[in-house]
A and B are shown apart, each in its own frame.
Chain A
Amino acid sequence: MPDLLEVKNLKTGFHTENGFLPVVHGISFHVNQGEIVGLVGESGSGKSVTSLSILRLFHDTHGEIVDGGILYKGENILTFSEKKMTKYRGKELSMIFQEPMTALNPVLKIGKQMRETIILHLGMSKKEAHQYAIEKLKSVGIPRAEQVMEDYPHQLSGGMRQRVIIAMQISCNPSLLIADEPTTALDVTIQAQILKLMEEIQEKTNMGILLITHDLGVVAEICDRVIVMYAGRIVEEATAVELFENPKHPYTKGLIESAPKIGSKKDRLNSITGTVPNPNNMPKGCKFAPRCPSAMPICHEKEPELMADGDHTMRCWLFDEEVEKKGEMQYG
Chain B
Amino acid sequence: MWQYIVKRLVSLIPLLLVVSFIVFMFIHIIPGDPARLLAGKDATAEEVEMARASLGLDKPLYEQYFVYLKDTLTGDMGYSVKSGAAVSELIGDRILPTLGLTFLSIIWALVVGILIGVISAVFRNKWLDHLGMFIAVSGISLPNFWVGLVLIQLFSVQLGIFPTGGAEGWKSYIMPSFALGAGIMAMIARFTRSSLVESMKQDYIRMGRAKGLGSRQIIFGHGLKNSLIPVVTVAGLQFGFLLGGSVVVETVFSFPGLGTLLIDSIQFRDYPVVQAEILLFAFQFIVVNMIIDIAYSYLNPKIRYE
Contacts and interface: CB of A to CB of B under 8 A. Distances in A.
A259 B210 CA distance: 32
B212 A90 contact: yes
A231 to B, nearest CB: 24
Given A106-B302, A116-B221, A154-B302, A87 B212 contact: yes
A89 B215 CA distance: 13
A158 to B, nearest CB: 13
B207 interface: yes
B305 interface: yes
B31 interface: no
A319 interface: no
B42 interface: no
6 contacts: A59-B209, A91-B212, A97-B206, A99-B203, A105-B207, A107-B226
B214 A95 contact: no
Given A107-B225, A108-B225, A154-B302, A60 B201 contact: yes
Nearest to A85: B212
B208 interface: yes
Interface in B181-222: 200-214, 217, 221-222
A21 B142 CA distance: 44
B44 interface: no
Interface of B: 200-214, 217, 221-222, 225-226, 299-302, 305
A165 B206 CA distance: 13
Give the top 5 A-B pairs by smallest Cβ distance, nearest first.
A90-B212, A89-B212, A102-B203, A90-B211, A152-B301
Nearest to A60: B200
Contacts, number: 82
Interface in A97-116: 97, 99, 102-108, 116
Nearest to A178: B210
Nearest to B214: A86
Contacts of A103: 203-204, 206-207
Contact of A60 (B205, B210, B214): B205
Nearest to A114: B211
Nearest to B200: A60
A155 interface: yes
Contacts of B207: 97, 103-105, 165
Interface of A: 55, 57, 59-60, 83, 86-91, 94-95, 97, 99, 102-108, 116-117, 120-121, 152, 154-155, 165, 168-169
A117 B221 CA distance: 13
Contacts of A105: 204, 207-208, 222, 226
Contacts of A59: 205-206, 209
A187 B299 CA distance: 31
A106 B203 CA distance: 11
Nearest to A172: B212
B212 A88 contact: yes
A89 B300 contact: no
Contacts of A155: 305
Contact of A89 (B204, B209, B221): B209
Given A97-B206, A106-B204, A116-B213, 14 more contacts: A57-B210, A89-B210, A90-B211, A90-B212, A91-B212, A94-B210, A99-B203, A102-B203, A105-B208, A107-B226, A108-B222, A116-B211, A152-B305, A154-B302
B211 A117 contact: yes
Contacts of A97: 203, 206-207, 210
A116 B203 contact: no
Contacts of B302: 106, 152, 154
Contacts of B214: 83, 86
A97 B210 CA distance: 10
B46 to A, nearest CB: 69
Contacts of B204: 102-106
B217 A154 contact: no
Contacts of A117: 211-213
A13 to B, nearest CB: 18
Given A60-B201, A102-B202, A95 B301 contact: no
B297 to A, nearest CB: 11
Most buried by A among B208, B212, B221: B212
B209 A57 contact: yes
Contacts of B201: 60
B203 A86 contact: no
Nearest to B224: A107
A300 B305 CA distance: 60
B230 to A, nearest CB: 14
Nearest to A155: B305
